[in-house]
Structure 1
Amino acid sequence: MNDLNAKKEEFVKQFEGLESTFSEIKMLMTYYECAILEVKTKLDVLNKEFQANELRNPIETIKTRIKSPASIMEKLERKGFELSIQSIKDNLDDVAGIRVICSFVDDIYKVADMLTNQDDIKILSKKDYIKNPKKNGYRSLHLVVEIPIFLSNEKKPMRVEVQIRTIAMDFWASLEHEIHYKKFSNSNVEAVKQLTECADVIYETDMKMLKIRKNLLDEED
């Protein structure tokens, strides 16, 4: 840990000592912020269109974030990548992140399809942790997309990680994150078992709520 802290300090000093380097990373973070704005705008538009067509919103909330410099450096080090600006561009897909919270499980896939079917969105990776949950029970749909941002004199392709989950899945993930923040270890077998059981109960509830909604819609027809 001390070695990692020393490398972080050295990395930061590089920015302090080289104005051009500091300016470059500041601009890179601005590009990521612009990419988030592009994706969020698309999601807002799709939500409004869905509201007009279906008389309801599939998206409850949209949360955005940019990784902090410390978090970026920690991940580069943990993955064994060089601590450099070029390494950030080449190796990290989640510097810019958007979390989309949906009402129902089927909304997750509808939103994902509506977003990725747009011709200026390129899917770089897709991980379905809903159909294939993680060992501790974590569920969410993860997409890494590439989207162009239009600057004053150029167009730049930028990567954004999009996580789409239900309200219930987000509730579980938030509490699980809090447990990890309190130094919980995955080596604690009993804790992992209990977390998985809670995640399974929450998913079962999600599916029951979806079934109720579908039954009510069938009655209306």
Structure 2
Amino acid sequence: MQNENQNEMQESVLPVLADKQIAINSDFYKMAFQFQEIMMIYESAIKQIETKLEILNKEYKVTGRRNPIETVKSRIKSPESIANKLIKRNLPVTFESMTANLHDIAGVRVICPYISDIYTVRDILLKQPDIKKIEEKDYIAFPKESGYRSLHVVVETPVYLSNTEHHIKVEIQLRTIAMDFWASLEHELRYKTTAKIPEGIRRELRHCAETIAMTDQEMEEIAIELQALS
């Protein structure tokens, strides 16, 4: 009798559990698809910026002028990085919160030969009618305490799909070859250890950053002098 009751209970519970599992799977796939779609839109925004830079690059080559762009790199933040940043800022971990509050989900890095090239490329991009500047942080004029130097410009660019239009924020980092060299090594050193970096090493890193900044300025002055001779 007891076995019969258990069997009856299992038969009545199993469909309910199956329905819950279907609902969970449905929600999961819906969220996964939505995230994939959002990331596709951010990737499209990056392509918009990269295409503009590629056209500018080709124009300088065709006209024979010195090119202010050395290389262009891009990246999309990982889901883990997005979630961690939202949690760190005490913001809800939702798609709406992500798109409204994070300006660096899509990132483009422009490496330039000289400091003046950074501002030249920035100005050319901001002149374009479909690019809207949201914010700018000049870590060249005002370096971070660590010694980090770069120009960060957050822009908004339209992305047109078959039936919708999206205005997407992209963070553009512009820096010289020397600045990028320092930033890459500093990032590797900082993330290689979980221990707190001693103040002595921090001072050495700042000193290296200052030396690199002086080299940047001297190289640009030499380039100007050589240009005047030609």
TM more than 0.5: yes
Matched, 1:168 2:178: yes
Alpha-carbon separation, structure 1, partners of 2:26 and 2:73: 31
Which residue identity does 1:86 align to in structure 2?
A: E
**2:199 alignment partner, one of 189, 192, 203:** 189
Q: Is the 8 A contact 2:158 2:168 kept in 1?
A: yes
Alignment-derived partner of residue 199 in structure 1: 209
Per-residue CA deviation, residues 55-99 of structure 1 (Å, 9 max, x unaligned), is 222111110100010111111111111011111111100000001
Q: Structure 1 residues 39 and 186 mapped into 2: Cα distance closer, same or farther (>3 Å)?
A: farther
CA distance in 2, matches of 1:176, 1:160: 24
Give the CA deviation at 1:54.
4.9
Q: What SS does the corresponding residue of 1:142 show, helix, strand or coil?
A: strand
Matched, 1:24 2:34: yes
- Offset of residue 15 of structure 1: 8.6
Provide the C-alpha distance between the structure 1 equivalents of 2:66 and 2:143, rounded to a whole number of angstroms: 28
What is the TM-score normalised by the length of structure 1? Answer: 0.89
Give the conservation status (yes or no) of the 8 Å contact 1:102–1:164. yes
RMSD of the alignment, in Å? 1.6
Distance 1:183 1:16 in 2: 41
Structure 1 residue runs of 5 or longer lacking an equivalent are 1-13
- Greater radius of gyration (CA): 2
Whether the 8 Å CA contact 1:16–1:22 is kept in 2: the answer is no
Percent identical residues: 46
* Residue ranges of structure 2 left out of the alignment (5+ in a row): 1-23
Q: Distance in 2 between matches of 1:130 and 1:186?
A: 26
Classify 1:15/1:52 alpha carbon distance in 2 versus 1 (closer, same or farther; 3 Å).
Answer: farther
Q: Per the alignment, do residues 148 and 22 of structure 1 end up closer, same or farther by CA in structure 2, a change over 3 Å counting? A: same
AA aligned to 2:114 is: F
Tell me the TM-score normalized by structure 2. Answer: 0.86
Length, aligned pairs only: 207
